[in-house]
Chains A and B, each alone.
Chain A
């Protein structure tokens, strides 16, 4: 069975290495600051006891005050998984891109940009993917008027 790692435990260990990067830690997920997302993700990918080499999915949710991006990480060698989250404000939605670490994020981040409007810095090819150029608005937002 895939062991779902507890967020609180992992956050405890991460706090020693990356102080002041973790905003919240529950058993289901770890919430980190957007500035430190890349370094925490690199650590989680390379450290031998975690080895999260498989990015299962990247998605984003629109809570009315902020956007929240959710990363589901899996390790194929150790067969365990973890959930990372990060938030950004609604007025200026910018987040760092994890494409350099896991190429799986390539098309998924483009889709989040298309449907929700979050810009990912460092993405080599950020443009609309399922809708056409010239489409007004971002449909998956809660205030999108049909």
Chain B
């Protein structure tokens, strides 16, 4: 039986594949150590007295009450995120029902799924395209540390090898209530930020 219609490509597949492969190998070589977590805010809260101005409080309230997520849904945790956005565990009451396909209009990335080296440059690109201020929640065991697949040859052991993570939510997959608790923690973290500090950081 005749296999298929003839190809009509306008680009060279082999060159594209080779270029992308080179990007992946470079990223793998440069991501051998995890990125340290940003501002250890629990320690600092004890150490110094931060007086937030009213402007800070207002801005933080606005930022944390309408976090818009961007699309980064490789694997199984994506479905727990979708059910969290459903009617039973309504994520819309936190102002987060918008899932923007374009990262330029998003400020939160919930990484729901295993990260492989082949996908890593794409995720880094999505993260770089998000404008400041931006936060990352690592959802699920695979996002935190590689999970059940850690010993595999093609899995990145945790998203914090390539992007800085703010909140880690364990579970395989985490229950929707678990994810909502993680979002609540992130909201508390955002409430502590101050414009003075972020301009120095």
Does chain A have a CB within 8 A of B8? no
Number of A-B contacts (CB under 8 A): 38
For A124, give the chain B residue with the smallest CB separation.
Answer: B3
**Residue contact B21 to A133, C-beta cutoff 8 Å:** yes
Of the residues A99, A101, A131, A133, contact of B154 by C-beta under 8 Å: A131
CB-CB under 8 A for A133 and B1, given A139-B153, A146-B153: no
Does chain A have a CB within 8 A of B73? no
**Residue contact B1 to A135, C-beta cutoff 8 Å:** no
Of the residues A106, A135, A139, A146, contact of B21 by C-beta under 8 Å: A135
**Residue contact A133 to B153, C-beta cutoff 8 Å:** no
**Residue contact A132 to B118, C-beta cutoff 8 Å:** yes
Q: Separation in Å of the A3 CB from the closest CB of chain B? A: 26
Does chain B have a CB within 8 A of A127? yes
**Residue contact A131 to B22, C-beta cutoff 8 Å:** no
Does chain A have a CB within 8 A of B163? no
Does chain A have a CB within 8 A of B24? yes
Contacts of A134 in B (CB 8 A): 18, 21-22, 24-25
Jot down 27 A-B pairs with beta carbons below 8 A, ordered by A.
A99-B3, A100-B3, A103-B1, A103-B3, A103-B4, A106-B3, A124-B3, A127-B13, A127-B14, A127-B17, A128-B17, A131-B118, A132-B20, A132-B21, A132-B24, A132-B118, A133-B17, A133-B20, A133-B21, A134-B18, A134-B21, A135-B21, A135-B25, A139-B153, A139-B154, A144-B153, A146-B151
Task: Enumerate chain A interface residues (CB-CB to B < 8 A).
Answer: 99-101, 103, 106, 124, 127-128, 131-135, 139, 144, 146
User: Given contacts A132-B21, A133-B18, could you give 17 more A-B pairs where the C-beta distance is less than 8 Å?
Assistant: A100-B1, A101-B1, A103-B3, A103-B4, A128-B17, A131-B118, A132-B20, A132-B25, A133-B20, A133-B21, A134-B21, A134-B22, A134-B25, A135-B21, A139-B154, A144-B153, A146-B153
